[in-house]
Structure 1
Amino acid sequence: MRHLIQFGDFYRLKSPFSSNQAAWNFVSKDQKEVLVMNFNIMSQAQPVFTQTKLYGLNPDLDYRDENTGQIYGGNELMEVGYYDSVMKQDFAAEVKYFVAVD
């Protein structure tokens, strides 16, 4: 993932100063790879469902989540996003990796 973090475009999606979460994504220059990092700062007794909307993708491409195999449209990930996993620990993190489908 070094090539995405070092040479990709960086976007902060959620600020830890305005919510209990932080998130950012890195997009390759050709917009075919996306690395997303979500962080939950403090756990909650009754967590609410949250969504993460990505930024900088190609809206005309489809992207496959390499962990689950689920396919999303680029415009879907930017406009609607995906539901975050419910994290039951303080300072928990989740990493997602999307690759464009040909």
Structure 2
Amino acid sequence: QWLAKEPSASFPSSHASIAWAISVAACCWVRHPLVITGLLLSALLVAWSRVALGVHFPSDMVAGMGVGALSAWAMLRPTRWLAQRLGRGFAAAAVQ
């Protein structure tokens, strides 16, 4: 009853992609090791839960993690450039 049988499970796992994108992006702003560990572990648990529930294959999870990490990098790269170019206060306001 608890196992979801989704008719359109996709490759890569969107749950894993979103969890890793948020976690990797947050890790770039947060510097505390315990917070970083918690963020990455929670993203890993989200990705693993999709495999454990039988909704995705392990390859879907790994690909989703990669897509999420690359998405975070693609978002943070121009933000860091903007911060260097215009000053941290202005770039932080632009991101919010």
Name the TM-score class by shorter chain: under 0.3
Greater share of residues in helix: 2
Q: TM-score, normalised by structure 2?
A: 0.28
Greater share of residues in strand: 1
Q: TM-score, normalised by structure 1?
A: 0.27
